[in-house]
Amino acid sequence: MEVQITSENFESLKNGAQPLVVDFWATWCGPCRMVAPIIAEIAEEYDGKVVVGKCDVEENDDLAAEMGIRSIPTLLFFKNGELVDRFVGATTKDVLVQKINALL
């Protein structure tokens, strides 16, 4: 299940025991809506192995700015508290699965 990422819980999730994938999105973003079902599927499939979260850039603009988000959707991939990969734009499930598997 997807976790709502906020400025308040980001640091603890980023530094948690499991890798973290964060989808930075907004409700008005068409490509974000295209990726949303893929993110939901991945969250279910990798439950217990990877934390998959969504961060609304309008509600958490401070966090989006801190992470250098300039276009959405942007997916950030963290392992051991460090940013290890980034993907900007809509993509296929296969591409995201390859990136997530690289975290494990």
pTM score = 0.95
pLDDT of residue 63: 97
pLDDT in tens, 15-42: 999 999 999 999 999 999 999 999 999 9
| Inter-residue contact 4 to 54 (CB < 8 Å) | yes
C-alpha to C-alpha distance for 82 and 93, rounded to whole angstroms: 23
Q: What is the pLDDT of residue 1?
A: 84
Catalytic residue annotation: 29, 32
Give residue for tokens 């603890």: 12
Could you list the beta-strand ranges (E) of 1-104.
Answer: 3-4, 20-25, 51-56, 74-79, 82-88
> Which position has the token pair 């217990």?
48
Query: What are the residue ranges in the chain where pLDDT is below 50?
Result: none
Token pair 């980034």: residue = 86
